[in-house]
Amino acid sequence: MNTYEGLFIFPEVLDEEGLDQAIGRVKEELEKLGGSIESTARMGKKTFARPLKKQRAGLYVVIMFKLEGIKLDAFKARLKLTTNVFRHQFVEASEVEAVQEA
């Protein structure tokens, strides 16, 4: 299993309870594929440099998780279908550590 850092952007219209539910759905989808959660960090609301799909800001959450590399594409597809994730980005944790050391 590989360790990934996932940056998830949720719509700014979500309240605290809605954000909790959205993060829970992301975690459920990950666990359905055999992944495991390492940590979750909420970064708060951030304004976009330019409007994206008529939205000006989003709620940022970073989730560290373990998942087999071949299942990452399936995870991305499930995010589009079953969650209200506005945007997402994944980086292998080894790449993140290399950048931090430099």
Residue 3: per-residue pLDDT: 92
Q: Which CATH architecture has domain 2-101?
A: 2-Layer Sandwich (3.30)
| CB atoms inside a 10 Å sphere around CB 74 | 14
**Per-domain residue ranges of the chain:** 2-101
The mean pLDDT values, 10 residues at a time, for the chain of 102 residues are 92 92 93 93 92 89 93 91 88 66 54
Q: What is the pLDDT of residue 37?
A: 93
What's the pLDDT score for residue 96? 53
| 46 touches 13 (CB < 8 A) | no
- Tell me what pLDDT residue 61 has: 96
Q: Give the pLDDT confidence score for residue 7 in this predicted structure.
A: 95
Which 8-state DSSP code applies to residue 34?
T
Q: pTM for this one?
A: 0.85
